[in-house]
């Protein structure tokens, strides 16, 4: 039965999936409005440090002010939800603890916060949907195994590029194609020196946080997204940082083929990003069946032997309700690190760093992320970008472009994501799940 039929059936029974949202920024706002137009689902509680963000999100979705209850008290929140109102709070712990919430959505984009949200959601036996790929590439294998043991779903979100790629990948695998390359378009030219100052003017024009925009421009977000795809499929980056060629959709199969075939790749079963096809995602496939090649050429899919399956859009948080419904109704994941940690996004100095200088996280002034094979990252003690926040101080001078290692930093504040990472590192089977 299609998901929307299942949701309609829930509504006809007078029931619905009760969603708790943490983070009412751009992603959270869009999701609240999209779910408001659906049957069988409602965002019953939203937490944001700036509560007005959550209030405005509900108002923009058509809720009257009388329907919105602001509280920090769990009993009051429960009564409000039971009476058909929605709850706004500054305390994410309240949302995590609410018995009335079935599924949690993390839309914070902050690695350490995402680790805490996912961990506590699983402990509370609630499904957790992550609009936070940063957390997933750092401790996702551990959270995935923990959720399965608890009988709940931990999953990435539909609409994010990794999950959109996985839809094409699963489609190709299901009907017998052999996937060769998995990839996405990059929305803006790669600028490894991008920072909140250089991104500020453009960010203000589109009502975006300059630091978040800088994390897209410097490639960190792309590296993280393709690390998630690698860990879900077992595919690897062909080179550290990937190639990042420019191409049209029609050129993909010509550029992204092995060198001996006239392309740029050393091998297949790889992940890649491409300039010129954003916001699309793609999977390049082939077949060992001659009749399939004849049929693909008849269908105008190219001359072969490789063909591109291309999706020209991804709707970010507007598609997240699909993952919520799949988790609740069918206990199905959209994307998780099925292969453990095969790739890692490591931390690279964005400028010359001095001993005693503090790191400043994704999209900041001090570092950017670069994808590499996890085995290589482990050998060199490379620092995962998801751990590289303001709790770390550099202990030696580091040159611009140099990969930071665990030996290069000192931690000044204990973070939950570090504790989970250490727990994961102690069990090799989790890294390789």
**pLDDT > 90 fraction of the chain, expressed in percent and rounded:** 94
305 preceded by cis ω (within 30°)?
yes
Segment 160-184, tens digit of pLDDT: 999 999 999 999 999 999 999 999 9
3-class secondary-structure state, position 367:
strand
Burial class (CB in 10 A: 0-12, 13-18, 19+), 190: middle
Domain boundaries 343-431, CATH class: alpha beta
Helix, strand, coil fractions of the chain, as percent rounded to 5: 45, 20, 35
Residue 188 has pLDDT above 90, yes or no: no
pLDDT of 433 reads: 59
Domain 3-159+318-330 fold is: Rossmann fold (3.40.50)
Helices 220-233, 133-150: axis angle to 10 degrees equals 30
Average pLDDT value for residue range 318-341: 97
pLDDT of 351 reads: 97
Q: Which of 400, 375, 385 is nearest to 111 (CA)?
A: 385
pLDDT of 206 reads: 83
Q: Which of 207, 250, 223, 255 is nearest to 345 (CA)?
A: 223
Average pLDDT value for residue range 305-312: 98
Q: Mean pLDDT lowest for which of 7-11, 115-119, 380-384?
A: 7-11
CB 53 within 8 A of CB 70: no
pLDDT of 360 reads: 96
pLDDT of 26 reads: 87
pLDDT of 1 reads: 84
Structure-model confidence comparison of residues 325 and 414, the more confident one:
325
Segment 230-256, tens digit of pLDDT: 999 999 999 999 999 999 999 999 999
Distance CA 45, CA 78 (A): 10
Average pLDDT of the chain? 96
Segment 22-74, tens digit of pLDDT: 999 989 999 999 999 999 999 999 999 999 999 999 999 999 999 999 999 99
Segment 386-419, tens digit of pLDDT: 999 999 999 999 999 999 999 999 999 889 999 9
pLDDT of 162 reads: 98
Total residue count of the chain as it appears in this document: 433
**pLDDT > 70 fraction of the chain, expressed in percent and rounded:** 99
H-type alpha helices, 346-398: 374-379
Residue 208 has pLDDT above 80, yes or no: yes
279 preceded by cis ω (within 30°)?
yes
CB atoms within 10 A of CB 76: 15
Average pLDDT value for residue range 417-425: 95
Start-to-end CA distance of the chain, whole Å, equals 31
Q: Map out the domains of the chain as residue ranges.
A: 3-159+318-330, 161-316, 343-431
CB atoms within 10 A of CB 375: 12
Average pLDDT value for residue range 6-22: 94
Q: Which two tokens stand for residue 301?
A: 């899919």
């Amino acid at each position: 039965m299609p998901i929307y039929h299942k949701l309609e059936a829930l509504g006809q029974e007078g029931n619905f999936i009760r969603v708790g949202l943490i983070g009412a920024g751009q992603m959270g706002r869009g999701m609240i409005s999209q779910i408001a137009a659906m049957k069988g689902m409602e965002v019953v509680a939203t937490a944001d440090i700036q509560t007005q963000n959550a209030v405005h999100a509900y108002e923009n979705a058509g809720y009257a002010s009388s329907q919105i209850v602001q509280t920090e008290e769990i009993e009051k929140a429960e009564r409000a939800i039971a009476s058909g109102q929605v709850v706004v709070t500054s305390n994410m712990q309240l949302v995590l603890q609410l018995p009335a919430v079935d599924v949690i959505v993390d839309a914070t984009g902050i690695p350490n916060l995402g680790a805490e949200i996912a961990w506590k959601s699983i402990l509370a036996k609630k499904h957790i949907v992550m609009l936070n790929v940063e957390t997933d590439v750092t401790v996702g294998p551990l959270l995935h195994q923990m959720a399965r043991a608890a009988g709940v779903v931990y999953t990435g979100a539909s609409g994010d590029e990794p999950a959109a790629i996985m839809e094409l990948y699963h489609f190709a695998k299901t009907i017998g194609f052999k996937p060769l390359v998995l990839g996405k378009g990059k929305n803006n030219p790669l600028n490894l020196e991008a920072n909140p100052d250089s991104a500020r003017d453009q960010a203000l024009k589109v009502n975006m946080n300059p630091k978040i925009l800088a994390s897209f421009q410097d490639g960190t977000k792309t590296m993280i997204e393709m690390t998630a795809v690698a860990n879900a499929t077992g595919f690897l980056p062909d080179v550290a940082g990937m190639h990042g060629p420019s191409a049209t959709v029609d050129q993909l199969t010509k550029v992204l083929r092995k060198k001996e075939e006239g392309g740029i790749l050393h091998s297949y079963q790889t992940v890649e990003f491409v300039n010129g096809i954003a916001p699309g995602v793609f999977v390049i496939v082939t077949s060992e069946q001659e009749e399939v090649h004849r049929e693909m050429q008849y269908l105008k899919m190219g001359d072969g032997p490789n063909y591109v399956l291309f999706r020209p859009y991804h709707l970010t948080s507007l598609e997240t309700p699909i993952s919520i419904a799949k988790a609740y109704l069918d206990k199905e994941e959209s994307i998780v690190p099925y292969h453990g940690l095969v790739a890692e996004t490591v931390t690279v100095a964005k400028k010359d760093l001095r001993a005693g200088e503090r790191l400043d996280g994704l999209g900041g002034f001090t570092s950017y992320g670069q994808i590499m094979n996890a085995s290589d990252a482990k050998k060199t003690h490379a620092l995962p970008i998801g751990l590289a926040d303001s709790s770390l101080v550099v202990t030696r001078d580091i040159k611009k472009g140099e990969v930071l290692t665990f030996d290069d930093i000192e931690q000044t504040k204990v973070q939950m994501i570090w504790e989970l990472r250490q727990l994961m590192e102690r069990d090799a089977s989790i890294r390789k799940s």
